[in-house]
Amino acid sequence: MLPGSADRDFRWLPRLLGIPIGLLMLMEFLEGLGYLGELDSRGIALRAGFFLIFSGCVVGFFKELPAALLILGGTAMGVISSDAPLGIMMIPALVGILYLCVFLAGKWKKEERRRLTKDDAL
């Protein structure tokens, strides 16, 4: 189990990494709006994936699990609909996985605390 300070620091890691990635995805999404009439279905799906990743980075400041699901879903949408190299689209997935780890670590810590309190009561 992480000490209290390390736990708080670990929570900020995906948030700080998500800021530039979220801004980049917002920029790509807004750039695609100018070409909306010219985009095919794959281009529209790619832009929707960019928007999901941006949304996940914003939601991540409040809730970790929805952020992880939005970012990983947007990344999957981008990988499926894009001709971009796989490595480029995996950078946002790293942030999504970090949000998932933060959520699971918090859930594990809460369960551990509940178990210890239950043992002390007996």
Cβ-based neighbours of 99, under 8 Å, separated by 6 or more: 14, 18, 56, 60, 64, 65, 67, 68, 71
- Summarize the confidence of residues 64-72 as an average pLDDT: 95
Domain residue ranges of the chain, discontinuous segments joined by + = 4-121
Residues across the chain: 122
- Summarize the confidence of residues 87-102 as an average pLDDT: 90
Instruction: Name the pLDDT band for 98 (thresholds 50, 70, 90).
Output: very high
SS percent in the chain: helix, strand, coil, step 5: 85, 0, 15
Instruction: Name the pLDDT band for 85 (thresholds 50, 70, 90).
Output: low
Alpha carbon of 31 to those of 25, 48, 54: distances in Å?
A: 10, 12, 14
pLDDT, tens digit, for every residue of 25-62? 999 888 888 776 787 888 888 889 999 999 999 999 99
Closest CA to 28 of 63, 76, 78, 67: 78
